[in-house]
Structure 1
Amino acid sequence: MKSTSPTVRFSTHGGEFTQIGYTGFSWQHDMRVHNETEQSLVLTLFNNANNEIAAGPATTGLGLAIDLVNRTVTKLRSLFNPNNLIHSVSQGNYQLLSGTNGHVLMDYGSIAKVKEFDGDGNVVCSAQFGDHNAVASYRGYRCQWHAAPFWKPSLVVRRTDTGANVSMGWNGVTNYDNWAVYSVISEKSVEGRWIRTVSRTGFEITVTLTDVSSHYIQVVARQGETVLSKSEVVSF
């Protein structure tokens, strides 16, 4: 490993550092340095421990404390799920999640799985996205994701004896928080009469209306007061 200067700070070869406990790893990926000072640093890595020729122990995520003064290496963490041992022969990564009390996301490379571990090493999320050793992922990360699809919100209106049941949803969007429901006078109307505002509480929301003044409904997906998209006008 090297710092920003040409001077070699330490080497993982040649036995220059003393292990405190077993800190071995092999065929690793995604080695990262954290909290670096002149005296110490923390090293994280995805320890494949396997390759396509030689099978080894289960793949783990390792956190190692490197003492640059006393030249010692101490294992801080070894992340794996004892109920689902994985042997990844290539790729993979270890993402230390900021602001999550030591949570780590691991992508298993040649094995089509990702797992999130909490600060105590417990699995809090596990997902599979393909067949093992058939679908691979070089890296996998957890991050904030925003989407605004080009299609309009969906709207279904069913007549009742006293009004209508209105079901609305917008598949794929992430940032709307409420619906404004309007009664309009025709399918080509550009203006309508506001009936009510409904908070977004799930993937699809259904409300019952009794104060409908026409046979046409339109809903508007909003973030606060900002209009994001409008549904088609639906008759009932």
Structure 2
Amino acid sequence: MSVPRRNVLLGAGGAVLTGLAGGGIGYAIGHDGGEAGPATQAAAPAGDPKYRSRPDLRTLPDVTITTAANGTVAGSIFLTPASGAGLWGPLIVDETGSPVWFRKVPDPATVAIDLKAQRYRNRPVLTWWEGTIGGTGGQGVGQGEFVVADQQYREITRVRAAGTEQADQHDLVLTPRNTALFWIYDPIPYDLRPVGGPADGVLHEGVIQEIDIATGRRVFEWRSSEHVALDESYAPLPQGESAHLPYDYFHANSVGLAADGNIIISARHTWTVYKIDRRSGDVVWRIGGKKSDFRVDDRTRFSWQHDFRQRRDGSYGLFDNGAGITKEKEFSRGVVFKVDEAARRTTFVAEHVHPEKLSAPTQGSFRELADGGSFIGWGQMPHFTEHNADGSVRLAGHLPPDNQSYRAYKAEWTGEPRDQPAMGVRVDGGSVIVSASWNGHTGVARWRARWGTQPGALAGGAVEQVRTGFETTLTVPGIPEYVVTEALDASGKVLGASSAIPVRV
């Protein structure tokens, strides 16, 4: 079965085989299911590619690991790098910073946000958001939809908002009952005179939708304007010529489930986190901000925050930016605190700080790991860190300075793409250097190159090499007519093979 062009070049795995042709680089587009595909020639990109087996990934940003101590939890790191270079998309890397899988955002979308591993129908999936981001006052507001992909990187479905609106990028939670919780930023006509604005103003309200994924049916909706007054906001009104632009008074940026099944959310512009009754929509409580239902201890106090979650022991954690429209703290942090609902008070537990005391005015994430440690994405600052339970850093890394990743996560992931491995070859003196990769496959332990006089008669010899990062190189002695690469697992089983391609001098 052949693969549509979009799926080959931009989709799961992206089977691109490259070979030397008259001194240039040629592409052989593989077929789905591991069949050998015909080779076709194309012009070589200018300059040396980052990966000879995947020259289309030449501008994929480098991920640098600066701290790698013992005791990290098993898993891959999930990022959505964005920069002026234009190669945006979901990216998984290992603990060395080497790419595991990347997919470029397909047109007409311009941005990918919030790649993470979740479960749907009790099976592991990847989810991320695709769309465009705009907004007023430097605050990102998204219009797009969520992608759900399986372990073979095949798109299962897209989660879209019910009605005429589009989904915002700030969060997606797949629930055990196979529904999706996410935000919509809905601009509605609103009388802003009580807070000093025009009578015919526009309000950006935060709307939670819960959608049945299989049918697209809306099963729950919550609107901030019905429960949260404008006087809770710390955000200034648009002024002057911008007075009729939407007033982003709430700026929702996370949604999740509490242990009791109710919904917990974060609103950046009210400096408040909320628990919402999942049946009635009533606000059960507020923590932080101008109308807190709890006495918040000084060490817990937060502002311009992101990513509010309940942890396994019942405590709560969030990414306290401490900076945004104003700067309230010198540096951002992940903070953990306990909530005593009977006494209506919070108690500080721990904080997690970057060694460089980073301040992130926008974005960010803070998640608990399986051993009680935590993983932090530093949002606007292109860094991520893994922490022990006491806050000490056991892994740290970063994207290039001109990049950022809205969030960063760590989780175990097994990927088995259906396409072929990719191969690049070049002649070096009297040998052929073979470059092999398989975008997204997590089971490859070794690579083998075989060669011969015909594609179906590769009996000239074979060499093997332990996998070394995203791309592994093997040296073939002499200059054979055809070469093929095979991906092997730890037991030596062949997981997949590239097309056999000719070597031409």
- Length-normalised TM-score, structure 1: 0.72
The 8 Å contact of residues 309 and 317 in structure 2, kept in 1 or not, is answered as yes
Change (3 A) 1:201 1:228: same
Change (3 A) 1:234 1:127: same
Which one of the candidate residues 103, 106, 112 is aligned to 2:373? Answer: 103
User: 2:287 maps to which residue?
Assistant: 12
User: 1:71 maps to which residue?
Assistant: 344
User: 2:243 maps to which residue?
Assistant: none
The 8 Å contact of residues 113 and 129 in structure 1, kept in 2 or not, is answered as no
Tell me the distance in 2 between the aligned counterparts of 1:230 and 1:120. Answer: 51
Q: Which amino acid aligns with 1:94?
A: F
The 8 Å contact of residues 95 and 105 in structure 1, kept in 2 or not, is answered as yes
SS for the counterpart of 1:170 is: strand
Tell me the distance in 2 between the aligned counterparts of 1:27 and 1:70. Answer: 26
User: 1:184 maps to which residue?
Assistant: 452
| Runs of 5+ unmatched residues, structure 1 | none
User: 1:139 maps to which residue?
Assistant: 407
1:96-116 Cα distance to aligned partner (Å, 9 max, x none):
23x3x2332222233233223
Specify the structure having the higher radius of gyration (Cα).
1
The 8 Å contact of residues 2 and 8 in structure 1, kept in 2 or not, is answered as yes
1:4 Cα deviation (Å)?
2.5
User: 1:216 maps to which residue?
Assistant: 481
The 8 Å contact of residues 107 and 137 in structure 1, kept in 2 or not, is answered as yes
Tell me the distance in 2 between the aligned counterparts of 1:215 and 1:113. Answer: 45
Q: Which amino acid aligns with 2:481?
A: Y
1:135-167 Cα distance to aligned partner (Å, 9 max, x none):
55433333438586888312345576xxxx553
User: 2:89 maps to which residue?
Assistant: none
Change (3 A) 1:136 1:217: closer
1:55-105 Cα distance to aligned partner (Å, 9 max, x none):
523111111121223433222220102x401122222221223x3x23322
More off after superposition, 143-152 vs 216-225: 143-152
Change (3 A) 1:64 1:205: same
Tell me the distance in 2 between the aligned counterparts of 1:109 and 1:79. Answer: 15
Tell me the distance in 2 between the aligned counterparts of 1:113 and 1:167. Answer: 35
User: 2:503 maps to which residue?
Assistant: 234
Q: Which has the higher helix share?
A: 2
1:24 Cα deviation (Å)?
0.9
Q: Specify which structure has the bigger relative contact order, considering alpha-carbon pairs within 8 angstroms and separated by 6 or more residues.
A: 2
User: 2:246 maps to which residue?
Assistant: none
SS for the counterpart of 2:285 is: coil
1:44 Cα deviation (Å)?
1.2
Tell me the distance in 2 between the aligned counterparts of 1:22 and 1:11. Answer: 18
Which one of the candidate residues 399, 408, 411 is aligned to 1:128? Answer: 399
Q: Which amino acid aligns with 1:69?
A: A
The 8 Å contact of residues 95 and 106 in structure 1, kept in 2 or not, is answered as yes
1:153-193 Cα distance to aligned partner (Å, 9 max, x none):
12345576xxxx5533224634233333323125xx33321
Q: Which amino acid aligns with 2:396?
A: C
Tell me the distance in 2 between the aligned counterparts of 1:168 and 1:110. Answer: 38
Which one of the candidate residues 82, 91, 94 is aligned to 2:363? Answer: 91
More off after superposition, 22-31 vs 197-206: 197-206
User: 2:309 maps to which residue?
Assistant: 32
The 8 Å contact of residues 337 and 347 in structure 2, kept in 1 or not, is answered as yes
Aligned pairs (5 A) from 1:20-59: 22-35=299-312, 41-59=314-332
The 8 Å contact of residues 221 and 230 in structure 1, kept in 2 or not, is answered as no
1:12 Cα deviation (Å)?
1.2
CA RMSD across the alignment: 3.4
The 8 Å contact of residues 421 and 438 in structure 2, kept in 1 or not, is answered as no
The 8 Å contact of residues 45 and 63 in structure 1, kept in 2 or not, is answered as yes
